[in-house]
């Protein structure tokens, strides 16, 4: 790339070289700082793979065993590193297999660039072999997408793709490249994109709104902060911490916001939402000021909107103008990057304490601890619980692990009980709820943060949706720790069937294979435990291992996750049993 970037001596014109579209694509990826990408080859993307072969010393391509795995790995990589994840696939079925990952990245605002091969331009619209309209298919689940039909479009479009994926509210971008555009040669030069007419990624903070927010915060008697992933994406962790410490305001998080503030921080009062903590949910309807930071009032957070924080004024710190008043009316909307807006509001805030208000959260926590948490994480009888497994992982990792969870009961338990001491540590499919996310996402997370311990927490259902990605762990010896919490059921659906469908367990009983043998088939050290006495030592052994490790924990089959806000109920009506 150095040679490509150099300018000719004595002239302003950029030096160009005649290369194929496929080679140009590799230069674009290198110029954007891509080191690792995930994908699967096929006919319409072969010229690009041929170049990947030539550039394998500079750009690592990981062959996942399914294109969906490539997207989730790219997501895991992006979520721990803050960089853009890259996935690549061929046309037709290769491209359609990316759709779930695109939808997941779209709803969870994950920066990702997906590249697909496409039949040659002359064949477009002829129902050619492996032709599919991936632009049409991916439109609703991408921040932007574009079909390249001429090689010369590649540099500008790729630069735009990376810029759009990572700027403002991040999201997935899909670039479809016809085969002729990969093969044809053109004069290549590359320039990073810094602006797109018609696209304003970050709204300018408005001084009046900042002042109005500060006034509301300074005058509130029972203020309550709920933050989301916007704090992590905006790199505003320090500002959030300063905000809660200066004002003494209790703060809770959405599932996507987890780990932005240390879980042990005294003012961190836990998770909001359907299976969130009791205090934050109930007290949402008692606060006089709700300060929402980088969150979007998802229905799993708010429950029934007709009974959500109706008594409170609402300040909404948000980067995306379309989120303002979408679900909850904001009395004050502070638009902008969370780091900038919190930074601007902080000097205007009075030092304060809200002890008696904070004490209410502590009282509610005690109720929740006595009725639920104690038995979840320190059970003394009965089968193993999911909660005690998470607690042992906290202890063995000193709260430093990246926890990648799949979707279902184990996910809620992992997010409730995992302890985090640094940001970007909770990787989960929050918005889309994609079963099968965790195993490939954990592979990507490990590759995106090689210095960190990565533990995948997966149910026996979701594990079998992307189990083939064990092949990647096997081939590359990716040292992830895989913990399957096996209750022999699709646990969350079974819980709903128990509570709302009179225990008619339709298709939720799992007949599982021998997971240990499967892992061993991939040469991964594997162990199964079912007794409490083996838990601590096995988890310690797993965490001490420098190699990939598979642990199956047989847990109670018909355990339920509580607290729970039943679908359509108010946050005040959170059930403890």
Partner 1 sequence: MENQWFTISVYSENNVGLLNRISGIFLKRHINIESLNVSKSEIDDVSKFTIVAHTTEKWVHNIVGQIEKQIEVIKAYYHTDDETIYQESALFKIASGLLFDERQIQNIIKDNNAQIVTVSRDFFVIAKSGRRNEIEEMYDQLKPYGIMQFVRSGRISVTKDEMKISAILKEF
Binding of partner 1 by 144 (CB under 8 A): yes
Rounded Cα distance between 291 and 223, Å, is 7
Determine which residue in the list 7, 54, 125, 139 makes contact with partner 1, applying CB under 8 A: 139
The 3-class SS string of 31-86 reads: HCCCCEEEECCCHHHHHHHHHHHHCCCCCEEEECCCHHHHHHHHHHHHHHHCCCEE
CB 483 within 8 A of CB 463: no
User: Is residue 118 a contact point for partner 1 (CB under 8 A)?
Assistant: no
320 touching partner 1, by CB under 8 A: yes
Q: 545: alpha, beta or left, given left = phi > 0 and alpha = psi -120 to 50?
A: beta
Both tokens of 370, joined, read 């006595």
If the CB atoms of residues 296 and 424 are measured against partner 1, the closer one turns out to be 296
**Which among 301, 247, 248 has a CA at the least distance from the CA of 274?**
301
- The piece of 37-45, 194-202, 451-459, 501-509 that touches partner 1 (CB under 8 A) is 194-202
Q: How far is the CB of 136 from partner 1 (least distance, A)?
A: 6
179: annotated active-site residue: yes
Annotated catalytic residue, options 46, 130, 540, 558: 130
140 binds partner 1 (CB under 8 A): yes
Instruction: Give the shortest CB-320-to-partner 1 separation in angstroms.
Output: 7
Residue with Cβ nearer partner 1 (82 or 201): 201
Q: Would you count residue 254 as binding partner 1 (CB under 8 A)?
A: no
Nearest residue (CB) to partner 1, 42 versus 170: 170
Site string for partner 1, 325-344 (x = CB under 8 A): xx------------------
Assess 513 for contact with partner 1 (CB under 8 A): no
Q: Any contact of residue 200 with partner 1 (CB under 8 A)?
A: yes
The span of 65-73, 140-148, 305-313, 394-402 binding partner 1 (CB under 8 A) equals 140-148
Long-range (24+ apart) CB contacts under 8 A made by 498-503 are 498/558, 498/560, 499/560, 499/564, 499/566, 500/566
> Candidates 196-204, 394-402, 433-441, 469-477 — which segment interacts with partner 1 by CB under 8 A?
196-204
DSSP-derived letter for residue 288 is S
Contact 435, 462 (CB under 8 A): yes
- Residue 134, SS3 per DSSP: helix
Give the range of 138-146, 253-261, 341-349, 367-375 binding partner 1 by CB under 8 A. 138-146
Q: Considering the candidates 32, 67, 153, 453, report the single residue annotated as catalytic.
A: 67
* Nearest of 166, 168, 105, 434 to residue 294 by alpha carbon: 168
Start-to-end CA distance of the chain, whole Å, equals 61
Query: What residue has token string 């895991």?
Result: 76
- Sign of the torsion formed by the C-alpha atoms of 481, 487, 488 and 494: negative
Distance CA 311, CA 326 (A): 18
Determine the Cα–Cα distance for residues 410 and 385; give it in Å rounded to an integer.
10
Among residues 1, 195, 238, 576, the one that binds partner 1 under rule CB under 8 A: 195
Binding to partner 1 (CB under 8 A): which residues in 161-190? Answer: 164
Distance CA 270, CA 365 (A): 9
Applying CB under 8 A, among 198, 208, 356, 380 the residue interacting with partner 1 is: 198
Residue 206 as a binder of partner 1 (CB under 8 A): the answer is no
279: which 2 tokens? 């205090």
Quick one: which segment of 108-116, 133-141, 230-238, 521-529 binds partner 1 (CB under 8 A)? Answer: 133-141
For partner 1, give the closer residue by CB, 125 or 521. 125
Phi, psi of 31 (to 5 degrees): -65, -30
CB 140 within 8 A of CB 134: no
Residue with Cβ nearer partner 1 (321 or 513): 321
Contact call for residue 380 and partner 1 (CB under 8 A): no
Residue 145 in the binding site for partner 1 (CB under 8 A): yes
User: Catalytic pick from 112, 492, 542, 564?
Assistant: 492
Q: Burial-class residue 87 by CB neighbours within 10 Å (0-12, 13-18, 19+).
A: buried
What single DSSP character describes residue 140? G
- Binding to partner 1 by residue 136, rule CB under 8 A? yes
Restricting to residues 31-90, which ones interact with partner 1 according to CB under 8 A?
A: none
Specify the stretch interacting with partner 1 by CB under 8 A; choose among 131-139, 239-247, 352-360, 400-408: 131-139
Token couple for 177: 């490249």
Nearer to partner 1, 176 or 391 (CB): 176
Q: By CB under 8 A, is residue 110 in contact with partner 1? A: no
Q: Which is nearer to partner 1, 199 or 500 (CB)?
A: 199
The two tokens of residue 467 are 């189990």
Closest of 443, 432, 407 to residue 87, by C-alpha: 443
Q: Does 196 bind partner 1 (CB under 8 A)?
A: yes
Kindly state the smallest distance separating residue 194's Cβ from partner 1, in Å.
12
- How many of the chain's residues bind partner 1 (CB under 8 A)? 23
Footprint of partner 1 on this chain (CB under 8 A)?
Answer: 135-136, 139-140, 143-147, 164, 195-200, 320-326
Name the residues annotated as catalytic.
Answer: 67, 129-130, 179, 492
């Amino acid at each position: 790339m150095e040679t490509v970037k150099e300018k000719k001596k004595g002239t302003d014109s950029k030096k160009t070289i005649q290369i194929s579209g496929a080679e140009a694509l590799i230069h674009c990826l290198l110029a954007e700082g891509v080191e690792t990408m995930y994908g699967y080859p096929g006919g319409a993307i072969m010229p690009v793979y041929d170049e990947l072969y030539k550039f394998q010393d500079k750009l690592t391509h990981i062959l996942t065993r399914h294109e969906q795995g490539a997207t989730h790995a790219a997501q895991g990589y992006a979520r721990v590193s803050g960089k853009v994840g890259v996935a690549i696939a061929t046309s037709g079925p290769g491209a359609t297999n990316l759709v779930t990952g695109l939808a997941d990245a779209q709803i969870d605002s994950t920066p990702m660039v997906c590249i697909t091969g496409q039949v040659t331009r002359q064949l477009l619209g002829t129902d050619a072999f492996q032709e599919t309209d991936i632009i049409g298919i991916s439109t609703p689940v991408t921040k932007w997408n574009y079909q390249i039909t001429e090689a010369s479009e590649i540099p500008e479009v790729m630069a735009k793709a990376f810029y759009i994926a990572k700027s403002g509210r991040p999201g997935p971008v899909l670039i479809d490249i016809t085969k002729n555009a990969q093969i044809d040669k053109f004069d290549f030069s590359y320039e990073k994109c810094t602006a797109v007419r018609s696209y304003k990624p970050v709204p300018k903070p408005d001084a009046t709104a900042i002042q109005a927010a500060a006034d509301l915060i300074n005058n509130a008697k029972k203020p309550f902060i709920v933050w989301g992933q916007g704090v992590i994406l905006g790199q505003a962790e320090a500002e959030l911490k300063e905000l809660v410490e200066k004002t003494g305001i209790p703060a809770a998080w959405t599932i996507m916001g987890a780990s932005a503030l240390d879980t042990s921080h005294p003012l961190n009062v836990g998770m909001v939402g359907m299976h969130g903590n009791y205090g934050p949910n109930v007290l949402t309807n008692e606060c006089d000021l709700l300060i929402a930071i980088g969150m979007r009032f998802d229905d799993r957070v708010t429950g029934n909107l007709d009974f959500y924080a109706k008594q409170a004024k609402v300040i909404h710190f948000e980067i995306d103008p379309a989120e303002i008043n979408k679900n909850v009316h904001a009395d004050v909307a502070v638009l902008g990057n969370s780091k900038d807006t919190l930074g601007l509001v902080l000097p205007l805030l009075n030092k304060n304490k809200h002890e008696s208000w904070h004490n209410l959260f502590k009282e509610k926590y005690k109720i929740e601890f006595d009725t639920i948490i104690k038995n979840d994480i320190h059970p003394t009888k009965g089968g193993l619980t999911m909660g005690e497994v998470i607690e042992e992982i906290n202890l063995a990792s000193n709260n430093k692990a990246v926890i990648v969870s799949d979707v279902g009961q184990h996910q809620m338990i992992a997010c409730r009980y995992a302890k985090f001491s640094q940001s970007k540590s909770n990787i989960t499919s929050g918005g889309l709820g994609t079963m099968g996310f965790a195993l490939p996402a954990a592979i990507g997370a490990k590759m995106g943060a090689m210095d960190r311990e990565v533990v995948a927490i997966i149910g026996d259902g979701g594990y079998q949706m992307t189990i083939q990605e064990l092949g990647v762990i096997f081939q590359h010896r990716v040292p992830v720790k895989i913990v399957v919490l096996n209750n022999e059921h699709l646990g969350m659906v079974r819980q709903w069937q128990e509570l709302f469908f009179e225990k008619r367990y339709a298709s939720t009983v799992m007949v599982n294979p021998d997971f240990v043998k499967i892992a061993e088939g991939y040469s991964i050290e594997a162990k199964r435990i079912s007794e409490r006495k083996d838990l601590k030592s096995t988890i310690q052994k797993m965490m001490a291992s420098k190699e990939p490790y598979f642990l199956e924990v047989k847990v109670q089959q018909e355990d339920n996750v509580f607290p729970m806000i039943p679908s359509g109920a108010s946050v005040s009506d959170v059930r403890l049993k």
